[in-house]
Amino acid sequence: MPRLLDSHAHLDREDYAGDRDEVIARAVAAGLSRMVLVGLWRAPGSFGDALELATARPDLFSATVGVHPHESVDVPEADWAALEALAADRRVVGVGETGLDFHYDHSPRAVQEAAFRRSLQLARAVEKPVVIHLREADDVCARVLAEEGLPAAGGVMHCFTGGWERAKAWLDAGLHLSIAGVVTFKSADDLREAVRRAPRDRVLVETDCPFLSPVPFRGKRNEPAFVAKTAEKVAELWGVSVDEVGERTTENARRLFRLP
């Protein structure tokens, strides 16, 4: 059984309220040694329960904290101060997910950009990597990163779905690429080519659960155990064993997030 690490999961969401323990048990049975839980701002005074879950199970979970671009317009100043304190907490391994989403535009673009810049500055201040969400805003993201600079601790383009040209641009900027179940989708030929060509010490695997279940679970609620299907596809693209993909991507995530 391969050793796997899900580098981006939302297990604190209500989607798992009824069977979270069973989901975790299936993940462990599938070979997951660790899951990085993404703690996001939910409402005034609340960043969800990712950090609480990680505190209860430090052997299995680590946590990030951040403001998603969708919600950036709603975050009060007091919660930005709370985020600064949380990000500095030794239990937190990264800042985000943050970034830009010009597909849905749930927050005004200028507000998203300001929040992204603020998050990059915070990640630099606490010396932790940044987790970036990006959709249909590549040029603006590139400009912001060029102007702000990537934190010295680095960062990851979570759920990367582009082709090789875009992958190379983010790799040249110093980012890792995290690959989700999209790589198994029939339409993802450009992404598969990018995964084939990407340096193997810069690739992570993730579920982004409960979203983006890989084939053959597409359309169902995603869960960390399904990261094995993503790892299988990466192994096929690299021409190596799933065990090797597990070892490499786990080590990459551990190095990036400075995990135990």
Using alpha carbons, select from 179, 187, 145 the residue that is nearest to residue 160.
179
Query: What pLDDT, on the 0 to 100 scale, is given for residue 97?
Result: 98
Q: What is the pLDDT of residues 68-123, one digit of tens each?
A: 999 999 999 999 999 999 999 999 999 999 999 999 999 999 999 999 999 999 99
Domain limits for position 116: 4-257
Query: Are 40 and 71 within 8 A, CB to CB?
Result: yes
Query: What pLDDT, on the 0 to 100 scale, is given for residue 57?
Result: 97
Query: What pLDDT, on the 0 to 100 scale, is given for residue 1?
Result: 77
Q: Report the percent of the chain where pLDDT is more than 90.
A: 99
In the chain, the N- to C-terminal Cα span, in Å, equals 21
Query: What pLDDT, on the 0 to 100 scale, is given for residue 2?
Result: 80
Residues of the chain with pLDDT under 70: none
Give the count of domains, the chain: 1
Query: What pLDDT, on the 0 to 100 scale, is given for residue 73?
Result: 98
Query: What pLDDT, on the 0 to 100 scale, is given for residue 260?
Result: 86
- CATH number of domain containing 228: 3.20.20.140
Ordered alpha helix ranges (H), the chain = 20-29, 50-56, 77-88, 109-126, 138-148, 164-172, 189-197, 227-238, 242-257
Helix (H, G, I), strand (E, B) or coil at 142: helix
